[in-house]
A and B are shown apart, each in its own frame.
Chain A
Amino acid sequence: MQTERQPPMTEPVKTIRIEVLRYRPEQDSEPVVQAYEVPFTDDMSVLQGVQYIKDYLDGTLSFRWSCRMAICGSCGMMIGGVPKLSCQTFLRDYYPAGLRIDPLAHFPIERDLVVNVEDFIRKLEGIKPYIVPKEPRTLEQGEYLQTPGQLEQFLQFSGCINCTLCYSACPQYGLDSKFMGPGVLALLHRYNADSRDGASAERMQLVHAEEGVWGCTAVGYCSEVCPKGVDPANAVNQNKTASAMDYFLRFVTPKAVANKGAANKAGAK
């Protein structure tokens, strides 16, 4: 067993002060800030910074990470009070003042930087996040065909990596977790906008609820922090317009409203 591990750095390095909100349920009654001096180079991400802490300074620090290239959505943290992916945020940008890392806001803290996202997962499962075919389809019929226009309708919203930064940005979710939240509503829209899908009417029942789009007050911070340019604020708020139109027109011209939706999916001539 190694007696002392040395960081594998050869050139002279600067150090940066990283303050982390720690929470160990077995010993802390509430979260407490702990500071570390971390040697770094300009190419190091904040994720690498906390990895350094865990590897060389304090093995008890807990945090989630995986791909370290902003696609898995695991490493979200509050960095300087802003929800960010730690693998995509760089220590050099916080030098020399230092930085403060907190677990993602609006979620219960399990331990250190690990939060409980079960609520998000449950909500996600509830929107049927998969293509529900309009009619039964055989393999012989081949693949679905889509025009580039039809692809554009949902492609942006399919970029969501479930990182939940938007939930940490959304004060309405923070104030009332019954709200479905930006990410789930954006994914709901992704499937509704896909010409291959036939479960729009079913998903709209969730949209029409108070916990659906009507819990949103158009703060817009969700779209600001999204690392993938999904623009959940647009997904949610355009569905307010759709939901309101359906609310008023549903008894008058239900077919017309449904047909308009279908026409948009089919693509303009």
Chain B
Amino acid sequence: MKRSNAPIFWSMFGAGGMLSALIGPLLVFVTGIAVPLGLLLPPDTMNYARMLGFAQNWLGKAFLFAVIALFMWHGVHRIFHSLHDIGIPAGTLAKLACYGFALAGTLAAGYVLIAIGF
């Protein structure tokens, strides 16, 4: 039987799933609840100067890129397989749409993070 290329996508699905399982709740809480409401953290925790400094730093760039890209590769892999589960034929078009979306997001994140400068 023909060898599947699934390992490529499954590994990224796994990496993204692990990362989101470990720090996803924290990130959502901080960026979406705590900082906007000034709850437990000062509301200027994510101010422009601070975030720009973070994103211009190599480690900050790597972190942001990893989170955005891996979350997307994780999500689209599961979405693609779930299409099959709910009766939508998971053919080449669906595969291109799902993984293409993640690729677009990855490239966009990379471009933007480099454009932010150092």
Contacts and interface: CB of A to CB of B under 8 A. Distances in A.
A and B physically associate: yes
Interface of A: 171, 175-176, 205-206, 208-212, 214, 217, 240, 243-244, 247-248
B85 A214 contact: no
A139 B88 CA distance: 57
A248 B1 contact: no
A206 B2 CA distance: 8
B23 interface: no
Instruction: Please classify the interface of chain B as helix (H, G, I), strand (E, B), loop, or mixed, using the class held by over half of its residues.
Output: helix
B11 interface: yes
A212 B81 contact: no
A212 B1 contact: yes
Contacts of A206: 1
A244 B85 contact: no
Instruction: Summarize A's interface: helix, strand, loop or mixed.
Output: helix
A265 to B, nearest CB: 23
Q: Which 5 A-B residue pairs are closest in the complex by CB-CB distance?
A: A209-B1, A244-B7, A247-B7, A214-B6, A210-B4
Contacts of A171: 85
Contacts of A247: 3, 7-8
Contacts of B4: 208-210, 212, 214
A171 B10 CA distance: 19
